[in-house]
Structure formats: C-alpha cells, structure tokens
Chain A
Amino acid sequence: MNIFVLIKQVPATETKIKINATATGIDTTGIKWIMSPYDEFAVEEALRVKEKNAGSTVTVVSAGPQRVAETIRTALAMGCDNAIWVETPEEIDSFQAAKALAGVLKKETKPDLVFTGKQAIDDDCAQVSQLVATFSEMPYVTVALSAEYGAGTVTVKREVEGGTTEIISMPTPCLIAAQKGMNEPRFASLPNIMKAKKKEIKQYKMADVGVTDGDRKIKLVNLQLPPAKQAGKKISGDAATQAKELVRALHEEAKIV
C-alpha cells in the first residue's frame, strides 16, 4: 500500500502568543516548534496500517518554510519511510497549503490512503484535510475516532455532537482526518531519531506543484489578544445569603437568568 500522511509544524501548545509588528501573524522569536498534535495520531495510524500490510510505505509530506524539516524528521523518527517538503513562504492560507499538498499527491505514486490530523493547532481552520481530498477527488471522513481497513475499502467511525457517532465506509483511495484518541502515538526510539537525521527529504517549490500567491483566498489581519479576563467576584455571607446574592447577580448583572 502506498500511504501518505500530511503534517504541519506549529508552535508548541503552551507558547505565549505575541502579535508580530504587522498584526498578520505571531512573533516567532524563541518559539519551540512541534508537530501539530492531531497529526501525531495521523502518523501513528499510517504506521499501523503499514505494519499490517507487508510491502507498504509511508511518505510524510509537509508544506512550509525551512524550519519544518525538523518536524518532518520527527515523523521519520516515528517510522515513516520517505519525506517530502514543499517550500512555501511564512504566511499562506489553507487553500494554498491544500493545493500544494494535493499537487504533491498528484506528482507522486498514486496514494491508496492519505492521513491527516483534523486541524492544526495554530490557525484552527480545520480545512486542509477536506480541501486536499476534494482537490484530489477522493472521498474523506473527518474527526475519525477509529478505522477498519479491508481490501480496497475503509470503514471509519466519525464523531459528531452530543456523543453521536457515524459509521461511514468508503473505497480507497480516500482521506482520513484523525481525531484525538484515534490511537496512541508511539514515542520515537533513540535509534530511529539517529537514523532520521540522515534521511533525505525530497523538496518541491510551490511553483512546481502549481501554487501561486494569487491562489490565496483568505488573509488574517489585525490580530489581537483577547481582553484580559476580569477577576471573579466572591460572594460572602451564609449559604442562604450567598444563594440569594448569586441569583440576583446572575439576573441583574450577567443577565443570564
């Protein structure tokens, strides 16, 4: 099987967000970069399918500036066989990213399965999985909790609201966007980390895969930090007084009762 996993490099989850000078992005000084956490489930799932199907390969693909090589190597250290990097400027939108990734899929050996994380934790757009699948004319299921793989078909359990799940089957080639908990991502072993440092990463330029600046549809501007949360009020008195005062405040101040 020819398996692809699409990943994104993002700032570490606990990064303190500072807005950059043009308010179109964040200040990246001193940032620790990681693989977007949902993508880890995607890489793990790809590796598990590979392990169950002899002769399969997993290719990790990522689009972004030079720094993403480090995260591609994390995926290689987890066990991916091949790596592809599409070089892009710092700021691109979901449309451009998806077009680039779909462009890579078109140029490479036809995929049987494509795995992604359901969203990247920086811009939280949650679009690229669906865009790539649609550009590639593949069926997709997002927010996948689990999947079962048969001959030429995949059955996916998908999470919707209110604890409801849908069971959806689709033929390969198809795309699956992983939800948290789809599996337990393996920890990269030391020998694999060392091996990954030496592996070759195939490089494409954005133009090689047919993406231009003109493909940009969305710009994020005027980035702001949310207003500081005001300290809460402690209500004093005995239990009866507290209850009365709380309800009064909810009714008259917060106006939610």
Chain B
Amino acid sequence: MESHFPPEMQTVFKNVENNFSPWAMSPDDRDKWAEDLQIKTMADVMASGENVEYLFWVGCAGSFDDRNKKVSRALVSVLRKAGIKFAILGKEEKCTGDPVRRMGNEYLAQSLIQENVNKLNEYNVKKVVTACPHCFNAIKNEWKDFGGNFEVIHHTQLIARLIKDGKLKPTKGVDEKITYHDSCYIGRWNNEYEAPRAILDSIPMVKTQEMEKNSANAMCCGAGGGRMWLEEHIGTRVNIKRTEQALATNASVVAANCPFCMTMISDGIKAKDMAEKVRVADIAELIDQATI
C-alpha cells in the first residue's frame, strides 16, 4: 500500500525533519523572538541550580511567525507581571510533531516526540505552559505514551487562574466589542470553554458578543488536522466562512487563543477587506493591554 502526499505536504515534512519546524527557517533563529527579553533557557537554569515553576513551551508558530511572535512576547509580559518564574528551551525546542502526526507521518512524529520528551526529562520539567493549543494537546495527551508525564496548562487557563487569585489585575479598559473564537483543541477537544471567556469578562469596558456558532458548536478556522499547510481546491474556504460568522457579530476584535486561528482569521478579514475595521488579538495580548 502506498501513500500519496500533496506536494505542499512534502515540503512541511522536509522542513520539520531538517529544521524542526514546518517552516524553511533556520533552527538557529528559533529564539530570535526573545532576543531583547533576557529570558532564561532551561540550560541556564540547570547550570545555575535555580528553579523555575514552568517551562514556557513556545512552539513553532510562536517562534517563527511574525504575528505570533508578538503573542509570545505578550505572554512573557503577562507572566512577569504575575510574578511567574519560567524558562524556555530556546534553540533546543523542536516541533511537537503535531502537524506531521495529523498528516500521517508517524515515523517523523514519533522520533520528534521522543527527542522532546527526553530533553524535558533531562531538565526535570514538571509543569508546562503553552500559548499553542496544538502543542498543548500533543504534550498533555500524547506524550505520556513516550515517557512524558507533565502537568500541562494552556495560557488562557493559567491567566484565568491568575486573575481569580488576584495575581493579575486587569485595570485598564479596552473599549472594544469582542467576539471570542473557540479554538478546536482548547474547546471541543479539551473541553475548555470557560477560562477564555472569564478573562474577557474581567477586562473593564469590554463588551462581548458570541458568534452564532460558539463553544461546543464552534466552527473550526480551517487550519486543524494539518490543513494549515495544505491548499483548498474545492468549495468555499473554511476560514472565509468562519470569518463571515465573526464579522456578523459586528465586533471590532476577534479574540483568539491559537496561532493557527490567529492566522486563518486574520487572512479571512483581509480577504473580506475589513482589515481597517476589525483585528484579531490573542487573549494574552488583550490582558497585557489591560494590566499594568
């Protein structure tokens, strides 16, 4: 039995194999997003003998995609405001393998997972926070088969908890109408509908408006299952459909908590020529904006 991959898929496999990310970018540049932020790496932490509470798993999008690098930086700002001690893997971080596993390349996915698990165990990592739901789902639910047993929390879950505990105080108003787009891997797959909404409700001046299809009924942005990397040749593009649903709320901000949703919906807004009226913001960015 033979497999046939569309050509664009092969490029992703090749990049993940050679560059440890789906992009044709040098793994040497993986931590460039954090250049001026002086974030400790797990290697630094291990060498100095100190302790951090969390490994911040940045993920490939948060490391290499220009728009999502801003989200990574916003999360760093928020974690620091809340006094959370964390470190990153930096150049040692490799793709979790989620996109290639979803696309069927078990061999490549498993070799990546094992390498990552070994690395995390080497650094005695106990808790992981990530801004990417795909990384979240992979590390939380799939890595235990490879000896990776970690306490994994998504950034919106952590931020919601920090607000509840008073460690983050949203005091600055954000005067926008916001509609929240449930990412599949946080929503349907991992049953978290409350935390992101609680965060938005805690920000002064925010007015929220649900899309018709929300929570368990939310529609995918179109990027899951590896489709972020593939062309669509038939019918209406999924991201356009979802964007139309978001625009129907007349919100000025679409709140996302996933780098792929961020990309797909931003693209949809540009395609609909609404980029001057509507923007996509990650929840971390909104909280950063609302806190001192």
- B29 — which chain A residues lie within 8 A by C-beta? 16
Tell me if A16 and B18 are in contact (CB < 8 A): no
Chain B residue at minimal CB-CB distance from A33: B18
- B27 — which chain A residues lie within 8 A by C-beta? 14
In whole Å, how far is A197's beta carbon from the nearest beta carbon of chain B? Answer: 13
Tell me if A15 and B7 are in contact (CB < 8 A): no
- A13 — which chain B residues lie within 8 A by C-beta? 18, 24
- Secondary structure class of chain B's binding surface, majority of residues: helix
Interface 1/0 per residue, B1-24 and A, CB below 8 Å: 011010100100100001100001
A14-B25 contact, Cβ under 8 Å, with A34-B18, A187-B13? yes
Bound CA span A190–B28, Å: 29
Tell me if B19 and A12 are in contact (CB < 8 A): yes
Bound CA span A187–B13, Å: 9
Number of residue pairs A-B, CB distance < 8 angstroms:
29
A251 an interface residue at 8 Å Cβ cutoff? no
- A184 — which chain B residues lie within 8 A by C-beta? 7, 10
Tell me if B19 and A14 are in contact (CB < 8 A): yes
In whole Å, how far is A27's beta carbon from the nearest beta carbon of chain B? Answer: 12
Chain B residue at minimal CB-CB distance from A32: B18
A193 an interface residue at 8 Å Cβ cutoff? yes
Bound CA span A85–B114, Å: 32
In whole Å, how far is B91's beta carbon from the nearest beta carbon of chain A? Answer: 10
Interface 1/0 per residue, A172-209 and B, CB below 8 Å: 00000000000011010110010000000000000000
In whole Å, how far is A170's beta carbon from the nearest beta carbon of chain B? Answer: 29
- B24 — which chain A residues lie within 8 A by C-beta? 13-14
* Contacting residue for B28 out of A16, A34, A185, A187, CB 8 A: A16
Tell me if A14 and B2 are in contact (CB < 8 A): no
Tell me if A15 and B107 are in contact (CB < 8 A): no
- A15 — which chain B residues lie within 8 A by C-beta? 26
Give residues of chain A (29-44) contacting chain B, Cβ–Cβ below 8 Å.
32, 34
Tell me if B26 and A14 are in contact (CB < 8 A): yes
* Contacting residue for B5 out of A32, A187, A190, A193, CB 8 A: A187
Tell me if A14 and B7 are in contact (CB < 8 A): no
* Contacting residue for B3 out of A32, A34, A189, CB 8 A: A189
A190-B107 contact, Cβ under 8 Å, with A13-B24, A14-B24, A15-B26? yes
In whole Å, how far is B234's beta carbon from the nearest beta carbon of chain A? Answer: 21
Bound CA span A32–B10, Å: 18
Bound CA span A224–B9, Å: 35
In whole Å, how far is A157's beta carbon from the nearest beta carbon of chain B? Answer: 20
Tell me if A16 and B26 are in contact (CB < 8 A): yes
- B106 — which chain A residues lie within 8 A by C-beta? 190
Give residues of chain B (50-67) contacting chain A, Cβ–Cβ below 8 Å.
none
Interface 1/0 per residue, B217-253 and A, CB below 8 Å: 0000000000000000000000000000000000000
Tell me if A14 and B3 are in contact (CB < 8 A): no
Tell me if A193 and B107 are in contact (CB < 8 A): yes
Chain A residue at minimal CB-CB distance from B19: A14
Bound CA span A189–B13, Å: 13
Tell me if A187 and B25 are in contact (CB < 8 A): no
A187-B3 contact, Cβ under 8 Å, with A13-B24, A14-B25, A14-B26? yes
Bound CA span A16–B28, Å: 7
- B7 — which chain A residues lie within 8 A by C-beta? 184
A-B contact pairs, 17 of them (CB 8 A): A12-B18, A12-B19, A14-B18, A14-B24, A14-B26, A15-B26, A16-B28, A16-B29, A32-B18, A32-B19, A184-B7, A185-B10, A187-B3, A187-B10, A189-B2, A190-B106, A193-B107
Known: A15-B26, A34-B18, A187-B10. 17 other contacts (CB 8 A): A12-B18, A12-B19, A13-B18, A13-B24, A14-B18, A14-B26, A14-B27, A16-B26, A16-B28, A184-B7, A184-B10, A185-B10, A187-B3, A187-B13, A189-B3, A190-B106, A193-B107
